[in-house]
Amino acid sequence: MKQTIVSGMRPTGKLHLGHYLGVIQNWVELQDKYDCYFFVADWHALTTKYDKTEDLRQNTLDILTDWLACGIDPEKSTIYVQSLVPEIAELNIYLGMITPQNWVERDPCLKDMAKILKTKEGQASQINFGLMGYPVLMSSDIMMFNADFVPVGIDQVAHIEITRDITRRFNNLYGEFFHEAQPLLNHCSLICGLDGNKMGKSFHNDIKISDTAEVTSKKVMTAITDRSRLRKDDLGHPDECEVAFKYWKIFGSEDEVNTVRCECEKGQRGCAQCKRQLGDKINSRLAEIREKRKYYENHIDEVEKIINEGSAKARVKAKEILSQVRKLVKMY
Ligand code: TRP
């Protein structure tokens, strides 16, 4: 019997290389070893964006198209949309009943979010009930499939701790049933944005999986290099190159990285030329993924079919677990 993995992402729109290298690539590998459940967390999106739902459907399709292009495989994994598995909402009710209020109040991620909301919307804004319940909903996502492991970024580990607390409480109250899920740390995104800061859509410093080769090349030309270098035959300092050389280390072979280093240090390689080559390098690495993405973009009905079938498959398992939960809690 394979162990179970659950992980999800909010539908925030098209994914960038930070998502690919930091999260998705890892998921693709996990598919062969575990029984994987990957989902788009559309209810979670509502916790903060309940008043901005017009892009929700498109964002969900975009993210799933990216996943499929990157190699998340419906033959290997169960791929679904959270809100298409309403059993999660019922489990959320049972778990909410056994979760003391102060467990969610002390959740550090929630505290951060509350702070951000306050500064965005002014002091008067309040946390809504749904956002408050977010750690319980996340526990429901995880426990719905009785996960053993949850691949997440370091920022989400506190949520897994709450999930484990809720799991223990459930098992104590109603009998041993749920596994205590362990976080599996994603190697944090190793790629920075084109400006040297964290890569993010809202910072306009990202390269999207869905960008064309042309757009990618143009973006790479804006990447920051060694700021002390003015002319192309100035001696370069690869280790002080803020972005381009870091990208080389991610996308180039060992030999290529050594060549770039030597030529740069000797002033034999200008930054523009270097970035032109780098753009080609990144494009060739992404070529296959982008081709696959184009295919799914042009066959969006296939993506929808995969979502519907995946969600139906997820529901079969969710119903099984839920019927056992109902029995344990002694519902009618
Ligand atoms: N909270 C996660 C995020 O914001 C997304 C998420 C929701 C999730 N439910 C989950 C991740 C369950 C792992 C398991 O990134």
Ligand 1 atom index nearest CA of 44: 7
**pLDDT computed for residue 121 by the predictor:** 64
**pLDDT computed for residue 124 by the predictor:** 54
* Top mutation candidate among 47, 95, 138 for ligand 1, by most atoms within 8 Å of CB: 138
Ligand 1 centroid, distance to 246 Cα (angstroms): 29
Ligand 1 atom index nearest CA of 41: 7
Q: 3 vs 106, which has greater pLDDT? A: 3
* Mean pLDDT value of segment 241-267: 94
d(Cα 226, Cα 204) in Å, to the nearest integer? 21
pLDDT digits (tens, 9 = 90+) for 181-215: 999 987 766 799 999 999 998 899 999 999 999 99
Side-chain half-sphere exposure of 34, counting CA atoms within 13 A: 23
Q: 228 vs 302, which has greater pLDDT? A: 302
> 123 pLDDT exceeds 60?
no
Side-chain half-sphere exposure of 137, counting CA atoms within 13 A: 20
Q: 107 vs 64, which has greater pLDDT? A: 64
> 312 pLDDT exceeds 90?
yes
pLDDT digits (tens, 9 = 90+) for 282-311: 999 999 999 999 999 999 999 999 999 999
**pLDDT computed for residue 126 by the predictor:** 72
> 277 pLDDT exceeds 70?
yes
Q: Which residue's alpha carbon is at the smallest distance from atom 14 of ligand 1?
A: 7
Output the CA angle 274-276-277, nearest 5 degrees.
65
Beta-carbon count within 10 A of 46 CB = 19
**pLDDT computed for residue 188 by the predictor:** 62
Ligand 1 atom index nearest CA of 6: 14
> 122 pLDDT exceeds 90?
no
d(Cα 146, Cα 161) in Å, to the nearest integer? 15
d(Cα 113, Cα 207) in Å, to the nearest integer? 26
Q: Which residue's alpha carbon is at the smallest distance from atom 2 of ligand 1?
A: 9
Give residues (CB < 6 A) around ligand 1: 6-10, 41, 44, 138, 141-142, 150, 152, 156
- Contact, 23 vs 151, CB < 8 A? yes
Residue corresponding to tokens 């090349």: 217
Ligand 1 atom index nearest CA of 151: 13
**pLDDT computed for residue 155 by the predictor:** 85
Strand partners, 184: 151
**pLDDT computed for residue 161 by the predictor:** 95
> 120 pLDDT exceeds 70?
no
**pLDDT computed for residue 134 by the predictor:** 93
Joined tokens for residue 270: 């200008």
* Mean pLDDT value of segment 136-155: 96
* Top mutation candidate among 6, 24, 44 for ligand 1, by most atoms within 8 Å of CB: 44
**pLDDT computed for residue 110 by the predictor:** 78
**Judging by beta carbons within 10 Å of its beta carbon (0-12, 13-18, 19+), is residue 228 exposed, middle or buried?**
exposed
**pLDDT computed for residue 1 by the predictor:** 86
